[in-house]
Structure 1
Amino acid sequence: MVRGFTAARPRGASLVLRYAAFAVFASGVNLLVQVAAMALYQGPYALLLAMAAGTVAGLVPKFLLDKYWIFDDRVPGRARGLRQFILYGLLSVATTLIFWVFEIAFHWLGDGGPLRYLGAALGLGLGYWVKYHLDRRLVFGGR
């Protein structure tokens, strides 16, 4: 981040577009890591391991993008930031369950084929919508 640069909290369509772009980016990271994990390991629990790896890979960049570019949260303090990240991560568990239910359902419907990625994309979209509202109220103080 450039010292002295501020990214004022977006509003309206700008907020929606920015949040959507960040969600697409984090989703892309998630899905790319899943594809890589599935290519590297196809043994027991491969799907669950790939989903977990993708989820973790997308969490950190999404938190930082949301903190600074969606909620314009620039209050200093490592302890505060750590608390926010922990709460952000805990709330991610609930929204990740939405994503996983969709992905597993589509995996099952598609007999293990690529249809699961459509389910993943739908689940991630719904999960991010819920996540924005939770984060706005609980993580970044109603901003």
Structure 2
Amino acid sequence: MNIAIRYIFFAITSLIVNLLFQYISFYIYNGFLSLYIAMFCGTIAGLILKYILDKKYIFYHKPKNKKDDGKKFLLYSLMGVFTTFIFWGFEIGFDLIFKTEMAKYIGAVFGLSIGYIIKYFLDKKFVFKD
């Protein structure tokens, strides 16, 4: 249970960092393609933080060297791409089905919850398996 609480806390922390970096990005630049630039900055910041926290406090992984750490981060990132599609699918699906502003946020919560649960098991099985 302790791991579950930490994992949820780290997910929320990562989300806050993501949004903070998006806000900073918009503050610095608010022109052509600024939304996509902000999403990219936020995603990278949240991903790096979550990887460090998960690696150290969830899976207790100590990389053998920088190359090993880089491989783990790449694999961790690829697992995140898969679960991001789940999150986006729920958010877009709820928006299309219910056609209300609140529905897409409810869909996002469902999608993120399912995505993070799946990501934990994917990371455990494929990323931090040793």
Taking a change above 3 Å as real, the CA distance of residues 100 and 80 of structure 1, as seen in their structure-2 partners, is: same
Q: Name 2:78's counterpart in structure 1.
A: 90
Q: Name 1:17's counterpart in structure 2.
A: 5
Taking a change above 3 Å as real, the CA distance of residues 105 and 38 of structure 1, as seen in their structure-2 partners, is: farther
Q: Name 2:88's counterpart in structure 1.
A: 100
- Taking only aligned residues, the RMSD between alpha carbons, in angstroms, comes to 2.8
Percent identity of paired positions between Structure 1 and Structure 2: 39
Q: Secondary structure at the match of 2:8?
A: helix
Deviation of 1:28 (Å): 2.5
User: Which ranges of structure 1 fall in alignment gaps of 5 or more residues?
Assistant: 1-12
User: Which ranges of structure 2 fall in alignment gaps of 5 or more residues?
Assistant: none
Hey, what's the Cα distance between the residues in 1 that align with 2:42 and 2:109?
Answer: 13
Hey, what's the Cα distance between the residues in 1 that align with 2:24 and 2:5?
Answer: 28
Of 84, 94, 111, which residue of structure 2 is paired with 1:123? Answer: 111
Hey, what's the Cα distance between the residues in 2 that align with 1:98 and 1:60?
Answer: 20
Of 64, 67, 77, which residue of structure 2 is paired with 1:76? Answer: 64
Name the structure with the higher helix share. Answer: 2
Q: Work out whether residues 27 and 121 of structure 1, in 8 Å CA contact, stay in contact via their aligned partners in 2.
A: no
Taking a change above 3 Å as real, the CA distance of residues 21 and 67 of structure 1, as seen in their structure-2 partners, is: same
Hey, what's the Cα distance between the residues in 2 that align with 1:120 and 1:64?
Answer: 24
1:138 aligns with 2:122: no
Give the counterpart letter for 1:65 in structure 2: L
Q: Work out whether residues 26 and 34 of structure 2, in 8 Å CA contact, stay in contact via their aligned partners in 1.
A: no
Hey, what's the Cα distance between the residues in 2 that align with 1:35 and 1:104?
Answer: 22
The count of corresponding residues between Structure 1 and Structure 2 is: 127
Q: Work out whether residues 11 and 50 of structure 2, in 8 Å CA contact, stay in contact via their aligned partners in 1.
A: yes
Hey, what's the Cα distance between the residues in 2 that align with 1:115 and 1:50?
Answer: 23
1:56 aligns with 2:44: yes
TM-score (ref. length: structure 2): 0.77
Matches within 5 A, 1:18-57: 18-33=6-21, 41=30, 46=35, 51-57=39-45
